[in-house]
Structure 1
Amino acid sequence: MGAIYLVRHGQASFGAADYDVLSERGAEQARLAGDELGRRGVRANEVCCGTLSRQRATAAEALARFAPDAVAKEDPRWNEYDHVDLAAHHGGAVTQDGAEPRAYQTALETALSAWTEAGAASPAAEPWPDFLGRVRGAFEELVARLGSGEQAVVVTSGGVIATLCGLATGDAARGLITFNRVVVNAGITKFVTGRSGTTLLSFNEHGHFEGETRRLLSYR
């Protein structure tokens, strides 16, 4: 049986001019996620990440801790939806720097719901069906490439992970909202693959942010 570990990127720079920069806290989160994967004895037969800066930096920090010889293959299909574009078309143009994290999350969920409901008719640069298609395609191709007993690590984003969990539980659009709401920075989600197909085994594991490291737990 093979396994795919989806790791959300560490905390980026919420409210800053450039959100897509891994914060110091995010780098520390990424290192702890790498330590956790090492503790589990994860074999990095394949490592992938999106092309966003926060994803690539998280992959580099994590790999240095448990698989220093591995190289992450960059694939834009693992990139997050464009939250700025979605806010402009479906969320009243709300901005991170103009809202508290909770208020922004509420506005974002409203935008995501409108985006999925609009389907191909959305004025966004990437309508929901296109996002869903690329995420599903990247995941299914990775599953097909894994050999028997092999393991893969993918560093991606909350919306991608939430969508894949939604697909696994029967409703991608609903999953995008409900899973994305609670996914933590540098949390780990595990899928297993075998003769019976691909199964979501665990979601959003973050035991590496408990006890003495609880101060590092964050959602946005």
Structure 2
Amino acid sequence: MIYLIRHGQASFLKSDYDQLSELGQQQSEVLGNALKDRNQEASFISRGSLNRHEQTARHCLNAFGIDKDVSEDDRWNEYDHMELLSKHNPAFTDYAAIGEYLMNQENPMKALQQVLNKSIGDWIKGAYDYHTSWEDFKKGVLDALNDVASKLDKGQSAWVFTSGGPISVALIELLALKDEQFVDLQARLVNSSITKILVGKNRLSLSSYNDYGHLDHNPNFITYR
């Protein structure tokens, strides 16, 4: 089994987004305690190279009480949302510019989701020249997923600390969905949630999606950004 774990809440619209918030750290610790209570230990652990991946893994493993090597693989990194936003609207040069735009909207969070969805749609359609194309992003994620699967023997599990984008790409592939469904899949992923993928003899298949039962005891822990 492969556990695709979305990182804890990051520092959204702060000067450095790629840091866990205090709540993100707590989510990661709750996750580690839950995995320990379920007696679900990993034979192999990997993560993306972003700070929020490293921090989520560290807080989770510390709470679990295990000290294992964690392999780093940047194919598990999120797409560059700032590049997508700035291609869609050249005025969005940094977080300050986006924040100023949002403050002038009647519903800032709704406005943000709308512009982000449109920028992702541009990316999927190849509307602009991107550092990493949609097709290359998908290929990298699926190659990384297959590499993890190849490391597991019968009865073993792997944990992968990653982001919503790579998890949603895996879902599109495993469920034979259309690329346009990427946005909806990603929007529903809760911070620190687990998506399980069963490694069969000849194929991978989805076992469960977006499990955040470990957060149910406190509704304030359930976040999407």
TM-score of the alignment, normalized to the shorter chain, above 0.5: yes
CA apart distance, 1:113? 1.1
Contact 1:81/1:131, CA 8 A, preserved across alignment: yes
Contact 1:8/1:185, CA 8 A, preserved across alignment: yes
Are 1:148 and 2:146 matched, yes or no? Answer: no
Are 1:138 and 2:140 matched, yes or no? Answer: no
Corresponding residue for residue 77 of structure 1: 75
Are 1:114 and 2:127 matched, yes or no? Answer: no
Q: 1:34 to 1:187 in 2, by over 3 A?
A: same
Which stretches in structure 1 are left out of the alignment for 5+ residues? none
Supply the distance in 2 between the matched residues of 1:91 and 1:161 (Cα, whole angstroms). 26
- AA at the equivalent of 1:54: R
- AA at the equivalent of 1:149: G
Contact 1:11/1:25, CA 8 A, preserved across alignment: yes
CA deviations 1:8-31 (Å, max 9, x no partner) are: 000000110110011111000011
Corresponding residue for residue 97 of structure 1: 99
So what's the TM-score if we normalise by structure 2? 0.90
SS in 1 for 2:169: helix
RMSD between aligned alpha carbons?
1.6
Corresponding residue for residue 184 of structure 1: 190
Corresponding residue for residue 5 of structure 2: 7
CA apart distance, 1:136? 0.7
CA apart distance, 1:93? 4.8
Contact 1:91/1:108, CA 8 A, preserved across alignment: no
Q: 1:156 to 1:91 in 2, by over 3 A?
A: farther
Supply the distance in 2 between the matched residues of 1:219 and 1:30 (Cα, whole angstroms). 14
Tell which deviates more after alignment, 179-188 or 192-201.
192-201
CA apart distance, 1:36? 1.8
Alignment of 1:31-42 (within 5 A): 31-42=29-40
Corresponding residue for residue 169 of structure 2: 163
Q: Percent identical across equivalent pairs?
A: 34
Structure of higher CA gyration radius: 2
Are 1:218 and 2:220 matched, yes or no? Answer: no
CA apart distance, 1:92? 5.4
Q: 1:110 to 1:201 in 2, by over 3 A?
A: same
So what's the TM-score if we normalise by structure 1? 0.92
Supply the distance in 2 between the matched residues of 1:149 and 1:38 (Cα, whole angstroms). 17
